[in-house]
A and B are shown apart, each in its own frame.
Chain A
Amino acid sequence: MNGRKSVDQAAAELSAETQASVYHSTKVTHEKRTKLLFDQYKNPDQLRQWAGEVKQHVIDNLDSYLPAVEARMQQNGIKVHWAATASAACHTVLDILVARRAYRVVKTKTMVSEEIRLGRFLQHHGIESVETDLGEFIVQIDKDHPSHIVRPIIHKNRREIAQSFEREGLGAYNDDPKTITMRAREHLRHKYMEADVAITGANFVSAESGRIVLVTNEGNSRFCLAATRCHIALIGIEKIVPRDQDLPLFLNLLGRSATAQELTVYTEFIKGPRHEDQLDGSDEVHVIFVDNGRTDVLESDCTEILRCIRCGACLNVCPVYRQASGHAYRSVYPGPLGAVLSPLMMGKRLFFEKADLPKASSLCGACHEVCPVNIPIPDLLLRLRNRAHVRGVAMEGSPPMGAWSVLASQPLAWRTALSASRVLNRLPTDLLPIPALQAWEQSRALPEWRGGAFRKWLAERRRPS
């Protein structure tokens, strides 16, 4: 493991309290989601399949969709930029800010900005960048990292949050969630009004109209876009849907899958800079299309993961995530989604850094079952395990299988081994390093060895009497 913590170790070290709260809130969200979908639709799986096909179609045709969407946005008065890498994306943002002499930024939650570490970059360049999503705001003041893509502070409890607020001078200690929220409301609304520029992500972009769709429950993105004169949207190149009329399907599935809502509270459709009659909002809209590893994914045999609409449903249902929480994945994207996407986004050269993540799954398939864009996550995990094997990335969790496979393809040797009790199915014990068997026996008893007994029984039964 190159001295780094495995997902299992991280899970073992997670406090029981944190684990319990992660487990509880993911379970509740998952169950509400299921109820909502199945109460309202006869065949929700059909919706997931269509949504998956639409996104796959876009991904397979990005070469035509990307220029098309760019042209449309330019027609709408949006300035379009491109960034191949994280640092290119950061510098593009900085260039826009500097050109406007804008030194105060308000931000909504965007996973792309986490990816490119924009917050720290801006801080480094003396620009105040305030996270306005409540969860992200707390992550920011704690210099922490989000542990869930929809619920960034799923790993924190109210007492920790109250302490952070006290430390930041946001009032005396008070851990009532309502008080915490109202204090954030007070604090942040003045930040919006002082800010020069708003930075957001995008949930969807329509190729047909060039419309950017943004959803939030808190309303922070609306505040950002109403109070500032310049809007910068960081958009992953895979965020496109073909037509406006595809949006109902995706909005429907996103709200339901992410937070079990028919629609997220605020759904914004941004077509371009404000009209002169509108008092509030952006005169300038910039879109930065970000690659940052996405074309690496496109070159792989796991392009399906680019369909992802970041709903978090696979995290919520995942039994491994529920035990390990998000930081265990050492990546911006945790859970089943992250176990696929994070190693791929490292690119070929650094793939090995996260090649252990695809192993952090019992391959139970629950993620595939809930994914609103029908991503066959277990298949992708398996492909990545194979990739790691072929690349010769050595790691725990991949016992050598060569000798075992020879045995399992030679019936005679197999039968001998069976009765000589040397082979053990899923745990080819004699071929595994000893600690593996110890790991099994540490927490579970082994059944009695009965190698070859069935064959003996069968032979005796079939002997003509």
Chain B
Amino acid sequence: MATCLCDAFYDDVAAATLQVLEFVGLDVEFPEGQTCCGQPAFNGGDWSASRRVVRHTLRTFAGDLPVIVPSGSCTAMLAHGAPLEFEKERDLSAVQELGQRTWELADFLVHGRGITKWPGRYDATIAFHRSCHSRGSRSAEAATTLLASIPGVTVKEFGEGEQCCGFGGTFSVTFPHISTAMGDLKLEHIRAVQPDVLVSADMSCLMHLGGRATKEGKPIKTQHFAQILRDAMLANGGTA
């Protein structure tokens, strides 16, 4: 699943995800009918609208293949959010089933495929932002493990790493003051460790943080986790 955010803005992240998966020897299908995981309406409280979108996703991803998503947030939506809004629905079990075979990319590589080292080279100091949707999951640990294993990469921890960046979907526009203040705090902690690039497994956080940094006139380079893996691999002479 490419996610609607990549569909609209971050095509290279979707491409990188695909390349990474192919690199580890998988055949990747991209169901053309996919749209969005349904999270915007779910978070907004309009669960009937959200269920409509989830049902569409159910149809699009019918079958038993694992569904890999380059986003902790969309993964959490399918694994946790959708079952919550389907609690009293008759197709709950189908929703749960989809949730169980949905993986966040880093989690899939490390825990699904047992990959703990990534080849190639990427010369950079990386600040890794743990998105909130990886709370209680193994995704953030998986991503930092893989990143740190790439020759040339230094992963730097920064202050209050467990705090939210302030995006939160519609929260970012309906609570602009708080959202921005949270973003500023996060950026302050990130800048303190002077990374070359800010990496996350969620483009939504990066859109918020990167957008804020640009607006402030102090732009910061942001990359998705998949892009780093892909670029490292390419540097090693891998083919895309």
Note whether A and B contact each other (Cβ less than 8 A): yes
B contact patch SS: helix
CB distance from B69 to the nearest CB of A (A): 14
Q: What are the interface flags for B29-48 relative to A under an 8 Å C-beta threshold, 1 for contact and 0 otherwise?
A: 01011111011111111110
Given contacts A409-B56, A411-B32, A455-B7, A404 and B173 within 8 Å (CB-CB): no
Number of interface residues of A (CB under 8 A): 75
CB neighbours (8 Å) of A443 from chain B are 176, 179-180, 183, 212, 215
Q: Which chain A residue lies CB-closest to B40?
A: A426
Residue of B9, B32, B81 with most chain A CB atoms under a 10 A cut-off: B9
Q: Which chain A residue lies CB-closest to B211?
A: A444
Residue of B10, B171, B212 with most chain A CB atoms under a 10 A cut-off: B171
Contact B170 A397 (CB under 8 A): yes
Contact B7 A382 (CB under 8 A): no
Contact B168 A382 (CB under 8 A): no
Contact A436 B178 (CB under 8 A): no
Contact A366 B163 (CB under 8 A): yes
Contact A446 B11 (CB under 8 A): no
> Which of B40, B172, B204 meets A404, CB within 8 Å?
B40
CB distance from B71 to the nearest CB of A (A): 10
Q: Is A440 an interface residue (CB 8 A)?
A: yes
Q: Bound state CA distance, A436 and B177, in angstroms? A: 13
Stretch at the interface among A82-90, A93-101, A274-282, A355-363: A355-363
CB distance from B239 to the nearest CB of A (A): 12
CB neighbours (8 Å) of A439 from chain B are 173-174, 176
Stretch at the interface among A119-127, A194-202, A318-326: A318-326
Q: Is B149 an interface residue (CB 8 A)?
A: no
Q: Is A3 an interface residue (CB 8 A)?
A: no
| Inter-chain residue pair count (beta carbon < 8 A) | 233
Q: Is B21 an interface residue (CB 8 A)?
A: no
CB neighbours (8 Å) of A8 from chain B are 174-178
CB neighbours (8 Å) of B42 from chain A are 382
CB neighbours (8 Å) of A389 from chain B are 44-47
**10 A-B Cβ contacts within 8 A?**
A8-B174, A323-B178, A385-B43, A398-B46, A411-B56, A425-B204, A426-B204, A436-B174, A443-B180, A455-B7
Contact A425 B163 (CB under 8 A): no
Contact A447 B46 (CB under 8 A): no
CB distance from B27 to the nearest CB of A (A): 12
Q: What are the interface flags for B158-190 relative to A under an 8 Å C-beta threshold, 1 for contact and 0 otherwise?
A: 001011101111111111111111110100000
